[in-house]
Amino acid sequence: MEHSIFYQDQEIPFSIKVNRLAKRIILRVSNDGDIKITIPHKRLEKEAIKLVQKKADWIATHLNKIQKQLESRPKVIDEIQFLGNRYPINIVKDSKLKLKFKTNSFDLHIGDHNYEHVRGELKKWYIKQARKIIPTLIENFGYSGRVKRIAIKGQKTCWGSCSTKNNLNFNWKLMMAPMEVMNYVVAHEITHLDHMNHSIRFWSAVQEKCPDYLRHRGWLKQHGKLLKF
């Protein structure tokens, strides 16, 4: 449900979503400035709108801060983070936008394309790499035959997930993390094929697959928000 309010001549668009598992009205503002309200019941829609109106000053201030951060982004990307390492970019003047990984650097054929086009191309490259690397990690654990489908997505709040139908989802931003961290996330999700919970048995099984999982889990908590460009 899409809505918007006006505050000091500034339009504030937001969406309202019903989640019956929610226990209260929840307001979230993403790093991209998207405002989402979660409500337990449809009848609380008016209350959610009132909440946005009440928080309008805080929201407007936060959105302006995000806008300044977006505007301060560089017009081109000067380095690329891949598997925990940072590689410089060599700009190649070419009409076609293309990204090519070399031994210790990237060649970026940029032409007249802008920053957002480059980000889009890099995202496609990360997704392509994830589709190569993650199935190999799953195979190394001996779980390939048990996985029905592997999807690479851009979740904002999680690094991976496992469904009861044996479908696995992974965040393409993991391609910026060190390989051992990515290996931990894979170990975590495939363990859900055996234990669809976070019980003591689950974490014991994760540790068998990844003895240093606590360190890698801690790395994600500390550095995960930095896996962006």
Domain co-membership, 28 together with 135: no
Q: What pLDDT, on a 0 to 100 scale, did the predictor assign at position 177?
A: 94
Instruction: Say whether 80 sits in a helix, a strand or coil.
Output: strand
Q: What pLDDT, on a 0 to 100 scale, did the predictor assign at position 168?
A: 95
The rounded distance, in Å, linking the Cα atoms of 149 and 146 is 9
Instruction: Say whether 87 sits in a helix, a strand or coil.
Output: strand
Print pLDDT tens along the chain (229 aa).
788 878 887 888 889 999 988 889 899 888 778 889 898 988 889 998 998 899 889 988 888 887 776 665 544 567 788 898 888 888 777 667 778 887 788 887 776 666 677 788 888 889 999 999 999 999 999 999 999 999 999 877 789 999 999 999 999 999 999 999 999 999 999 999 999 999 999 999 999 999 999 999 999 988 888 887 7
Q: What pLDDT, on a 0 to 100 scale, did the predictor assign at position 109?
A: 77
CATH number at residue 84: 3.30.2010.10
Residues 126-135: contacts with CB under 8 Å, at least 24 apart = 126/172, 126/173, 126/175, 126/176, 127/152, 127/172, 129/82, 129/175, 130/170, 130/172, 130/174, 130/175, 133/175, 133/182, 134/170, 134/174, 134/182, 134/186
Domain co-membership, 177 together with 89: yes
Domain co-membership, 42 together with 115: no
Domain co-membership, 142 together with 180: yes
Domain co-membership, 209 together with 175: yes
Please say which residue of 50, 71, 92 terminates a domain.
71
For 48, the domain range is: 2-71
Please say which residue of 31, 48, 71 terminates a domain.
71
Please say which residue of 28, 47, 71 terminates a domain.
71
Q: What pLDDT, on a 0 to 100 scale, did the predictor assign at position 92?
A: 77
Q: How far is CA 155 from CA 57, 99, 146, 161, 216, in A?
A: 28, 24, 23, 10, 19
> For residue 196, what are the contacts with CB-CB under 8 A and spacing of at least 6?
162, 164
Domain co-membership, 56 together with 111: no
Domain co-membership, 100 together with 159: yes
Looking at the 3D structure of the chain, how many domains does it have? 2
pTM of the model: 0.66
Domain co-membership, 198 together with 148: yes
Domain co-membership, 63 together with 85: no
Domain co-membership, 182 together with 94: yes
Domain co-membership, 182 together with 91: yes
Domain co-membership, 32 together with 86: no
> For residue 10, what are the contacts with CB-CB under 8 A and spacing of at least 6?
60, 63
